[in-house]
Structure 1
Amino acid sequence: MNESDVDGAKLLAPLRGTTPDGESAVSVEKAIATGKRRRAVRGALGAAAVAVVTVLAVILVPAALNTNRDEQVRVATAPTEFNVLRQEFTVGSAGGFTPYAYRTGRFAQRIDLKRAGTPDPTEPTAMVTIYPSGPYSSEPDGEPAPAVNDRRAKYVPSAGPRSTRIAWEWADGAWAYAEVPPGPDAQAIAHRVAQSVGRGGTAPARVPFTIGALGEDRVLGVVNSMPASNHGPTAQLLIGRTDPSGASGEMVGIVVGLTTASGQQNTSLDGRPAIESPGRVTMLDGGPGRAATASALISAEPLRLKEIAASVQISGDPANPSTWPVNPVR
């Protein structure tokens, strides 16, 4: 797999393709194609590597002329990685858009938005992506834009033919992007969406189940629905390994979640009823009307899919996120 394909895998947002009956509407081919377009744009930007700097959390600024007091200024600092089990940011409703899904990750946190008052779309109508400091936060080229929450900002080239983007340095050496559909007021709308992004709260990213030991795999992120979603509280766990090239962050290999129990049993795992199909294993004994699924997005050994699906244990009330476990790995 080349870097473009891996980048496409990173752009997958499994939750937005989940329908009430558990069938996925996500197109892997479409997501990978989107990733290739976005990588091409980033390559065209030609952003230089960010220089390593040391930032003090609090510094003292000399007092202005004709004053006798120093003013204490707090400098916003960014981590080099995010916690995959925390939602590090908040996004409000702005510009006619509202958030409906949140995806965590070490090297990006992403929030999908839709037009307010509409059902969850197959593809997000608008999107916010926040990066930590490091290789993914090189300053982009672009035209000056109004400051976002008092931080410098730029209107930057679109990642595709149907979007308008604004980038802002949400903390020293770390950049975020808001992307909205094109239109006469698209830049102003993108700016309003960006203004609605806040840091704080760090809400836990949870799933209503636990899984067994991951071996060489690890948790790469969690996808949670947000209050505006019409799917109710839903969640999926993203599992995979570090990209072998070391250049593109993480590669999502397996998505684990709960779904409605349906379909005809065609196999048994450890004496338990299951359905096995190419790239997907569903355990049918997840409780009343529920099933646990493990789906391969990129590549996964069939035996590994079976092991992960069979290890899923429902924990807490699937309808009440406050009861879900903090750590999904037993």
Structure 2
Amino acid sequence: MTRLLDPLRDEDPLPPSRVDIDQAVRIGRRRVRVRWSGAAVIVVVVAVLVPVLGLPGNGGSSVGPATQPELAIDYPEFDPMRRVVEVGDVRGVEPFSYTTARQWQRVNLQIGKSGFATLTVYAPGREATDAEGIMQPETGTPGQPVGGRASYWLSRGSNEVLAWQWAAGAWAFINLQSADDGSEPDRDTMRAIAQAVQVHDKAGEQVAMPFTVPLPAPYQLIGTTTQLRSAGDPFVRTGLLFATEDPADPDRQYSGVSVHVENGSKMAMHAGANQNVDGHPAMVADQEVIIFDAADDFAVDVEGTGEADLLPIARGVQLVPAPSDRSTWVTQPVS
């Protein structure tokens, strides 16, 4: 069992982590190439495509308390093709992936050398849930205010969660997991991250993709995933998520299809290639199809449940003429 939201690959090494990254809409598939909880997730952290995310340098300064202006919320959900969450500079904290959905948005963060955190921001009026069920922040231990609003500490399994309202009736949660050295989650770091979070208006930052794909029946677009890199890093893994319903719970398993494109050395190795598709080496399995060397050293990677016919979906992906040039990416990738 792996996840529909799968922005991470083992491209460039980071220290190993025990964190379960991007616990979101999940699907079954035959193979697991990304190593999750209990193993190493190898990924480089920094931003690409997301100017709304403020990324710190190695010597970033800590963020002190701040009060967000009162927001006039007039929309019931997020646009899955826009990113609305900004994480300002916090010493030792860097975003490394971003997932959009209509009812929530999620940013995964690296903490120090081997710690990780998940920031989940819910749309106004949405009930927050996790793998343990409904989250009731007011039943937790009161903490210091965040953005002028009350915050609460919750125990969820073995992890501690900081919850606060980023606007009236709209909750945000930070789940910080222990580093591999056994150190406990740092409440000061969690508070600093919370103080650095801003949720922008419904316009947000437009998501762009280096490809187009026909809408795979019977699904609808439910979100996007992007592995974040620095502006000068050419590595790309980004994609679209399709399912029959919008995921209300980031940690619940859903059936669906993910369509990603990726470049870099891992795809250049043609690992698992077992046939030729339209003149390109490809790996074709029941729950995953990868077409290598589709264009400009990019591969097309489609994953889904057994009910989906993945090969026609993969063959329908059309990369833009120069996918390495982000200025050519499109904001309406579903045709």
Query: How high is the TM-score relative to the length of structure 2?
Result: 0.68
Deviation at 1:96, TM superposition (A): 2.2
* Cα separation, 2, equivalents of 1:278 and 1:160: 34
Deviation at 1:252, TM superposition (A): 5.3
Structure 2 residue matching 1:77: 3-state secondary structure: coil
Determine whether 1:202 maps to 2:207.
no
Determine whether 1:160 maps to 2:157.
yes
* Cα separation, 2, equivalents of 1:269 and 1:76: 51
Relative to structure 1, the CA distance from residue 232 to residue 147 in structure 2 (aligned partners, 3 Å threshold; closer, same or farther) is farther
Deviation at 1:78, TM superposition (A): 6.3
The one of 7, 10, 15 equivalent to 1:15 is: 7
- Look up the match of 2:95: 99
* Cα separation, 2, equivalents of 1:174 and 1:97: 24
Q: Which moved more, 1:214-223 or 1:171-180?
A: 214-223
Q: For 1:20-169, list aligned pairs within 5 A.
A: 24-27=33-36, 74-77=70-73, 79-116=75-112, 118=113, 125-137=116-128, 139-140=136-137, 141-157=139-155, 159-161=156-158, 163-169=159-165
The answer to whether the 8 Å contact 1:276/1:282 transfers is yes
Runs of 4+ in 1 over 6 A off after TM superposition: 243-250
Determine whether 1:290 maps to 2:286.
no
Deviation at 1:17, TM superposition (A): 3.5
Determine whether 1:313 maps to 2:304.
no
The answer to whether the 8 Å contact 2:226/2:237 transfers is yes
Deviation at 1:170, TM superposition (A): 0.6
Percent of matched pairs sharing the same residue: 25
* Cα separation, 2, equivalents of 1:170 and 1:245: 18
* Cα separation, 2, equivalents of 1:77 and 1:196: 20
Relative to structure 1, the CA distance from residue 155 to residue 210 in structure 2 (aligned partners, 3 Å threshold; closer, same or farther) is same
* Cα separation, 1, equivalents of 2:167 and 2:247: 29
What's the C-alpha RMSD, in Å, of the aligned pairs? 3.6
* Cα separation, 2, equivalents of 1:246 and 1:143: 23
Paired residues, number: 269
Deviation at 1:97, TM superposition (A): 1.4
Deviation at 1:313, TM superposition (A): 0.6
Structure 2: segments with no counterpart, 5+ residues: 13-31, 40-68, 129-134
Deviation at 1:188, TM superposition (A): 1.7
Q: Deviations over 1:137-160 (max 9, x none)?
A: 474221111111112211112x33
Relative to structure 1, the CA distance from residue 288 to residue 107 in structure 2 (aligned partners, 3 Å threshold; closer, same or farther) is same
* Cα separation, 2, equivalents of 1:226 and 1:245: 24
Structure with more contact order per residue of length (Cα contacts < 8 Å, sep ≥ 6): 2
Determine whether 1:301 maps to 2:307.
yes
Relative to structure 1, the CA distance from residue 142 to residue 78 in structure 2 (aligned partners, 3 Å threshold; closer, same or farther) is farther
The answer to whether the 8 Å contact 1:99/1:228 transfers is no
Structure 2 residue matching 1:242: 3-state secondary structure: coil
* Cα separation, 2, equivalents of 1:264 and 1:185: 39
Relative to structure 1, the CA distance from residue 173 to residue 239 in structure 2 (aligned partners, 3 Å threshold; closer, same or farther) is same
Structure 1: segments with no counterpart, 5+ residues: 31-72
Relative to structure 1, the CA distance from residue 166 to residue 174 in structure 2 (aligned partners, 3 Å threshold; closer, same or farther) is same
- Look up the match of 1:222: 224
- Look up the match of 1:189: 189
Q: Which moved more, 1:283-292 or 1:247-256?
A: 247-256
Relative to structure 1, the CA distance from residue 92 to residue 156 in structure 2 (aligned partners, 3 Å threshold; closer, same or farther) is same
* Cα separation, 2, equivalents of 1:290 and 1:321: 13
Determine whether 1:258 maps to 2:250.
no
The answer to whether the 8 Å contact 1:98/1:228 transfers is no
Deviation at 1:277, TM superposition (A): 1.9
Deviation at 1:269, TM superposition (A): 4.9
Q: Deviations over 1:213-266 (max 9, x none)?
A: 333211121111224597834312212111799999883522211232414753
Relative to structure 1, the CA distance from residue 90 to residue 26 in structure 2 (aligned partners, 3 Å threshold; closer, same or farther) is same
Q: Which has more radius of gyration?
A: 1
* Cα separation, 2, equivalents of 1:290 and 1:236: 13
The answer to whether the 8 Å contact 1:139/1:175 transfers is no
Structure 1 residue matching 2:315: 3-state secondary structure: helix
* Cα separation, 1, equivalents of 2:228 and 2:250: 31
- Look up the match of 1:327: 332
Counterpart residue identity of residue 87, structure 1: R
